[in-house]
Structure formats: structure tokens, C-alpha cells
Amino acid sequence: MGEDFKLRIDATINRQFHDGVAEPHNPSEFLLKLLGRAENNLIDTKPNPALISKGVAQLQVSERRQMVQSIFINIEAAATEIAAAYRKACAQIGMNPGAIRVYVVGGRLQKDLQPRSDVDFYITLDDELQGFDLLVSDVHQESEEITEKKMRALKEFTSDLELITKKYYFFSSVSDKSVDRLDLHGWGRSEKDARQEWMQESRSSNTKRLAVLVHKG
């Protein structure tokens, strides 16, 4: 391994992050530049890394790079479909979440590629009470009838999400297919709260690259 990933990110990239968030004019091009700075790390941090030989790990990392590159090339189209599927599910039960934003978050902004690296997405809303995040987090108590309706709508959204994953993601012949290629970390959290948390984290640690906005609508 060469120098740390964060040291290979040039100022033109870092300057676009404000309080941990970047809103590039061309998200695909921006994320591909970040990917270009990432080296291949053959050490798998998942369980039982010793069970993966160096040769297999190298092949998996190379395939993951192709997968991530394919995702980033189509990132705006994929994010638009994710947002549309989310809004459709909300509309089925009369919810209006306002503006839906889709971000890329996590390791692809911070780390080198590993054999089972994926791409993490995060959805935020103007009004989280009109979405599914509180339901998934199990912190919001509602009537049984409303909860059942939300669960049915959420199930349909996750089905649509699987179809979007299959449409845009590269599936290899040797990689572990049980590992998600699309990992959703935010299921419709308040945009204001998410931004506040990212700002605080970016100011209190060395982590400056926390989220890249890829869709708003």
C-alpha cells in the first residue's frame, strides 16, 4: 500500500466538501475521480479474512473496482429511480415527504477498495414523519393500522430497490453474492438532522468527506 487514501485526495476534490457534504455539478465525474485515488487493499475486514487467498482477493478487488465504476457511471440515473420508487411507495399510503435527496456515503469516500467493498446510499427527506426511516429504526410509535400500511409500502419499495440494484450493478462470477452491492443507510431521515450530524462529525474529527449529493427532487 502507498500513502493513506486521504493523502491522495487533491485539494480540488476536498474543496467541494463543506461541513462534510459535497454537491458536485457532475456527481458521476466527481465520484469517479475519488475512485481513481483509491488503491486495491487485499485485506478483507469481514469475518475470516484468512480464508481468502491472495489471488482470489486480488480478483475480487479488481471485480469490485469494475462494479463500483459501473455504479458511479450510472449514479444519477440509479439515484433518480431510487427516489422515484421511494416517492411512489409513500404516495400509496398518502404520505408526502417533500424533496427527496439521495447521497453516497461511507467507505467509497474514505477508504481504499477491499474484496467486498460496496456503495452506501442515504436517503433524506424534508419531513421524516412522511417516510420510512422512523419505522425502520423502530423509534416511532404509531397505530397498528398505520404501521401495517407503512410496512406494506416499505416492502414494495425494497422490492423496487432490488430491481434497481440488478439493473445498475455489476455482478461478478467469483465475488460473494450474499454481500449487498447497494447498502441503504438512511431510509428517509430528516435532511436537517442528517446535515447537522455530518457537520458536527466533520468538525470534530479528521473525517471531512461524509456524503456526496447525487439526486434531489
Q: Both ends of the chain: CA-CA distance in Å?
A: 40
User: Can you give the residue ranges of every domain in the chain?
Assistant: 5-216
Q: How far apart are CA 41 and CA 126, in angstroms?
A: 38
The radius of gyration computed from the CA coordinates of the chain, to the nearest angstrom, equals: 18
Tens digits of per-residue pLDDT, 75-116? 999 999 999 999 999 999 999 999 999 999 988 888 888 877
Tens digits of per-residue pLDDT, 113-170? 887 788 899 999 999 999 999 887 766 667 788 888 999 999 999 999 988 888 887 5
- Pairing type for strands 21-22 and 17-18 reads antiparallel
CB atoms inside a 10 Å sphere around CB 98: 13
| Average pLDDT over every residue of 46-59 | 62
